[in-house]
Structure 1
Amino acid sequence: MFSFRSPSFATRTLSRVCQQPISAYRVAAPAARSLLTRHFASLEQNPSSSPKRFAHTSASKAPEDSYIKNNLERHASLKDKIVDLGKFIDSCELCMVTTAKGNPPALVSRWFLKLIHNTCFCNFQEQAGVSLIFHTNTQSTKTEHLKDDPRVNISFLKGERGEWASISGDASVVTDRETIHKYYSSTLKPWFGDLDDGVHDGGPDDPRIGVIRVKTTQAAYAIVGDGMLGKDASQFTGSAKDVPRINKLRLLTKEELQEWRDANGTA
């Protein structure tokens, strides 16, 4: 795919077209496309001829991000990272779940509310704490999205403290009644309603009720400890060299998550 890296050439070419009389448009437009195509193709073949957009041409040569340098906990234990993430999620009242729709994909987000403790919203304790469980309407658009692309992102935020989490994973829709009964809560009824047909009543055997199980593939989160700035970092007026820690920034890689699953005997 060509990228528009030489606006001056594109502008000159399109201006040349626009200055043509209307009767010449059908001839000029294809010519402009041909000129632009050849120009961008040459840039792809000779990237050195394209103007530099950033001071750093290689991420490996760029200086380390100061926020990450000051806040990333590189030596936190795997157990602490898993347990603390679970505690943070359990303290949140809602989250945003993002799926991909269409081809090319467009991202679609919707919120999930925690109705009761560890139910309906999510249960992070599934599979030793590395899978998330959500209830869903099997007739909803998100289940259709997941059929085409199982990749999801789930984000959590506690704005009053400046804490957040972003979790990526692969989702599957589960409809077997044993799993539905395991996670069912009567607080689901208002969300599904009763269609008065003896089947679609919002109960545990309502075929519309399903479960989305998200197998976490990677995660990043930030929690605030004692003496850390958290959301008040923007109010700090001292020297940029003396900024206190803002939060505990932690990362969970795919390899770490698999290591945890292996150690706990989960898939």
Structure 2
Amino acid sequence: MLSKDETAKLWKMIEPVGTGMLANWNGDFLQSRPMQLVQDEFNGSLYFFTHRSDTKVDEILHNREVNVAFSDPSKKTFVSVSGVATLVTDQSTIDTYWNDVVSAWFPEGKNSQDVALLKIDTYLAQYWDSPSSKLVQLFKITKANIKDETPNMGENKKLG
């Protein structure tokens, strides 16, 4: 379980990215696919729309352990979120997160029996955050190589 401060830190890093790579076990190997966040705040759970009929839904229902990775290379920010996925078919929850962007993927509308949400309840997260510019990073790497040390490239922390 993540603390309130930890969820706030994660949301600050993943909200601007918006799209995460959802990885799950498909029965033979790990598979990843891009998924767009649909929420405006984060309380420890991530929400993504999906078609109930999609293969990933069956895969995830057989093995609910998933990972979602977010990356913003321009800011040197990387986040890995591990959690347990559930399928949400409750119409009021679908209504809460429905928007014009989502409707493009579901032309049959939000009341279609094929519309669902994947809810990922986070139990562990890790992030890497390097506020330095490329020039500063290059300097740190060069200095570390000269001194035979490991460069300090920013903050890395496990949460949960």
TM-score where L is the length of structure 1: 0.53
Partner of 2:60: 146
Shift of 1:124: 7.1
**Superposition RMSD on alpha carbons, in Å?**
2.3
Residue 246 (str. 1) matches residue 153 (str. 2): yes
Shift of 1:141: 0.9
How far apart in 2 are the matches of 1:172 and 1:165? 21
**1:173 maps to which of 66, 74, 87:** 87
TM-score where L is the length of structure 2: 0.84
Return 5+ residue gaps in structure 1 as ranges. 1-77, 114-120, 194-200, 254-267
Partner of 1:83: 8
Please show how residues 86-235 of structure 1 align to structure 2 within 5 Å.
Answer: 86-102=11-27, 105-113=28-36, 121-123=37-39, 125-126=41-42, 129-193=43-107, 201=108, 203-225=109-131, 228=132, 233=137
Regions of 4+ moved over 2 Å: 78-82, 122-126, 228-236, 239-245
- Which structure has more RCO (C-alpha within 8 Å, separation ≥ 6)? 2
Structure 1 counterpart of 2:81, which letter? I
Aligned residue pair count? 155
**2:142 maps to which of 202, 225, 237:** 237
Which has more strand, going by share of residues? 2
Structure 1 counterpart of 2:113, which letter? P
Q: Computing the radius of gyration over CA atoms, which structure comes out larger, 1 or 2?
A: 1
Which has more helix, going by share of residues? 1
Structure 2 counterpart of 1:248, which letter? E
Shift of 1:177: 0.9
Return 5+ residue gaps in structure 2 as ranges. none
